[in-house]
Chains A and B, each alone.
Chain A
Amino acid sequence: KQEVTQIPAALSVPEGENLVLNCSFTDSAIYNLQWFRQDPGKGLTSLLLIQSSQREQTSGRLNASLDKSSGRSTLYIAASQPGDSATYLCAVSSGTYKYIFGTGTRLKVLA
Chain B
Amino acid sequence: GAGVSQSPSNKVTEKGKDVELRCDPISGHTALYWYRQSLGQGLEFLIYFQGNSAPDKSGLPSDRFSAERTGGSVSTLTIQRTQQEDSAVYLCASNSLAGGGTDTQYFGPGTRLTVL
Contact = CB atoms under 8 A, between A and B. Distances in A.
B116 interface: no
Contacts of A93: 102
A99 B45 contact: yes
Interface stretch (B11-19, B36-44, B61-69, B74-82): B36-44
A44 B45 contact: no
Contacts of A89: 42-43
Interface string B50-73: 100000100000000000000000
B100 interface: yes
Interface in B72-103: 91, 93, 97, 100-103
A96 B44 CA distance: 16
Interface size class of B (residues with CB under 8 A): 20 to 34
Contact of B56 (A32, A46, A95, A97): A97
B21 interface: no
A43 interface: yes
B75 to A, nearest CB: 15
Main secondary structure of the interface of A (DSSP, over half): strand
B108 A97 contact: no
A94 B99 CA distance: 15
Contact of A98 (B40, B56, B108): B56
**Closest A-B pairs by Cβ, 9 of them:** A43-B107, A93-B102, A101-B43, A44-B107, A101-B42, A103-B42, A46-B104, A43-B109, A43-B108
11 contacts: A43-B110, A44-B105, A44-B107, A96-B102, A97-B33, A97-B56, A97-B100, A97-B102, A98-B48, A100-B45, A102-B42
